[in-house]
Amino acid sequence: MEQSTSPKFKQNAHHALHDASLQRALGRLKTGFKDKRLAAIADMPEFEQLRDTARDIKNHTLANLDHYLTAFEANVIANGGHVHWCADAEEARQTVLKICQDKKAKSVLKGKSMISEEIGLNAFLEKQDLKVVETDLGEYIIQLRNEPPSHIIAPAIHVHKEQVADSFRQTHKGRDINRPLDEPRDLLDEAREVMREHFFAADVGITGANFLIAETGTSVIVTNEGNGDLTQTLSKVHIAIASLEKVVPTLEDASSILRVLARSATGQEMSSYTTFSTGPKRDGDLDGPEDYHVILLDNGRSNMLGTEFQEMLRCIRCAACMNHCPVYGAVGGHAYGWVYPGPMGSVLTPSLIGVDEAGHLPNASTFCGKCEEVCPMRIPLPKMMRHWREREFEKHLGPQSMRFGIRLWAWFASRPALYGKATGLAARILKSIGGRKQKIGKLPLASGWTDIRDLPAPQGKTFKQLWAEQQAAKKA
């Protein structure tokens, strides 16, 4: 997915706010994610210490990233696997294609992978006449609908079950057209049946990776459905695609971070399947892939090191920030216009596709701080969104009117006497406009405020005027 619609964030948001079915889906975030996270954390008294530990592990890893990546690489090779360093999306796509071509592959199965979304892998492989099937139920649903994911762990969160049924009836031919597909169970059973046929026919299985473990050359996926396991076990070739900041030093370090991952994401203590994969199948193994490849993708991340955005590389993609974000909760994931929505996307996306393209994202935040409060890796997301606003301001990227407004305001605000006169006058005028009702329904140049809400009228004099009068009266 290379083309973004992030510059149209406002229009996207407008549509999202008027999409009743999306709004219904977003209404489920509270019971679906937030309440469960709270309950899981209540059962883990060490949760805050675990967050500190998780943060420290990643900080240590990032500070020694070259060493841990080369150790990881050496251990993958020692176990009979291959590592491919890819500087950008195009190199990663070409590398995957070459592996498929070398195996004369016709079909590719995919476990859920945000990196493959980032590099637009599906569309690319399909153009090369490969059949690509997403195996995660949510990813499968949006693949049928020809949509990008709207959430990083629940990609089809915006889709309701009637829409899923429609897609299934259109796609799954040769079945009774009147079969019942009313309940989530019916839909799941049909998807399970259809997917089984795909699993047994696949040549190449592609998964993402939640962690890469330097100590052992292992890639780890964290899943609930089991599709990732079948994808990587039944195919002849397993390709794990990971961005380079996924590496952690040891099995113990991965375990520590796993303790905060599922709890923050879905409120589970641990996901159903945590799968540590190392190399291809071994001598004597009766199943498993013949080849094991790891695609190590940079795509802009190495240039985040040493900048004010380095801490973003601690992100473990749990989605707690978007689950709790009131802006995400209002507009959903598609409005953000690229792969990563919500607060983590508002910081990461400008790093990957440029702040000139994604400038809206770090601005569309009230800085309420909820994302940082729930981030298991203690990433200071609001602070980094502010840093993006600083970069925008330096580059003159924001709207000129806003820039002019801020500068004009600052000019007044650094001249107390003049400012006092101006606000005193404004308070008096606004009070008289407000009249008896003490509120203003419409005001020139303030439609951003008054389109949505009334403006409460000031009381008539400023505090400083009244205070000065009171002090003078006391002296008199």
Partner 1 sequence: MSFAPSSASSASSPSSKPRVGLFVTCLVDMFRPTVGFSAVKLLEEAGCVVDVPMEQVCCGQPAFNSGDLESARKVARPLIAMFENHDYVVAPSGSCAGMMIKHFPELFANDLELAEPVRALAGKTWELVSFLTDVMKLDGVAAAFEGSITYHDSCSGLRELKVKEQPRKLLRSVKGLEIRELQEPETCCGFGGTFCVKYPEISGKMVGDKTTDIKNSGADMLVAGDMGCLLNMAGKLRREGSDMEVRHVAEVLADMTMAAPGIAGSEKG
Partner 2 sequence: MNQSSSSSRNAILGRIRKNLGRGSGPRDAPAEVVARLANPPRNIMPARAQIDHDAQLDLFVSMAKGVAASVTRLENMDGVPAEISRYLAEHNQPAVVRLAPDAAITGLDWAKTTLEISSGVAGPHDMVSVTSAFAGVAETGSLMLRSGPDQPYTLNMLPDTHIVVVKTSQVVGTYEEVWSLQRQDQGRGTMPRTFLWVTGPSRTGDIEQTIQLGAHGPRRLHIVLVNDET
Name the residues that contact partner 1, by CB under 8 A. Answer: 10, 13-14, 17, 326-327, 330-331, 363-370, 372-373, 386, 388-394, 398, 402-403, 406-407, 409-410, 413-414, 416, 419, 423, 426-427, 436-439, 441, 446-449, 451-459, 461-464, 466-468
- CB-CB contact of 37 with 264 (8 Å): yes
Reduced to 3 states, what is the DSSP secondary structure of residue 221?
A: strand
Phi, psi at residue 207, to the nearest 5°?
A: -125, 165
Question: Of these, 117, 118, 134, 136, which contacts partner 2 (CB under 8 A)?
Answer: 136
- How far out from the chain centre does Cα 182 lie? 30
Question: Of these, 28, 175, 179, 442, which contacts partner 2 (CB under 8 A)?
Answer: 28
Smallest gap from Cβ 78 to partner 2, in A, equals 8
Interacting partner of 101 out of partner 2, partner 1, none (Cβ under 5 to 8 A depending on kind): none
Q: Is 107 exposed, middle or buried (0-12, 13-18, 19+ CB in 10 A)?
A: middle
- CB-CB contact of 263 with 44 (8 Å): yes
What x/- string results for residues 440 through 459 when contact with partner 2 is judged by CB under 8 A? Answer: --------------------
**Nearer of residues 63 and 466 to partner 1, judged by Cβ:** 466
Smallest gap from Cβ 371 to partner 1, in A, equals 10
DSSP sequence for 286-349: SSS-SEEEEEEE-TTSGGGTTSTTGGGGG-----HHHHH-HHHHHH-SGGG-SS--HHHHHHHH
Q: Is 195 in the site for partner 2 (CB under 8 A)?
A: yes
Distance between CA atoms of residues 35 and 53, nearest Å = 24
Q: Is 259 in the site for partner 2 (CB under 8 A)?
A: yes
Interacting partner of 388 out of partner 2, partner 1, none (Cβ under 5 to 8 A depending on kind): partner 1
Smallest gap from Cβ 5 to partner 1, in A, equals 16
Q: Is 285 in the site for partner 2 (CB under 8 A)?
A: yes
Smallest gap from Cβ 292 to partner 2, in A, equals 8
Smallest gap from Cβ 286 to partner 1, in A, equals 53
Q: Of 234, 224, 214, which Cα lies nearest the Cα of 73?
A: 214
End-to-end Cα separation, the chain, in angstroms = 73
Smallest gap from Cβ 446 to partner 1, in A, equals 8
Q: Of 237, 234, 240, which Cα lies nearest the Cα of 201?
A: 234
Q: Is 98 in the site for partner 2 (CB under 8 A)?
A: yes
Find the binding residues for partner 2 in span 150-179 (CB under 8 A): 154-157, 160-161, 164
DSSP 383: H
**Nearer of residues 64 and 363 to partner 2, judged by Cβ:** 64
**Nearer of residues 10 and 28 to partner 1, judged by Cβ:** 10
Interacting partner of 118 out of partner 1, partner 2, none (Cβ under 5 to 8 A depending on kind): none
Whole-angstrom CA distances from 298 to 192, 294, 304, 318, 358 are 34, 13, 10, 20, 19
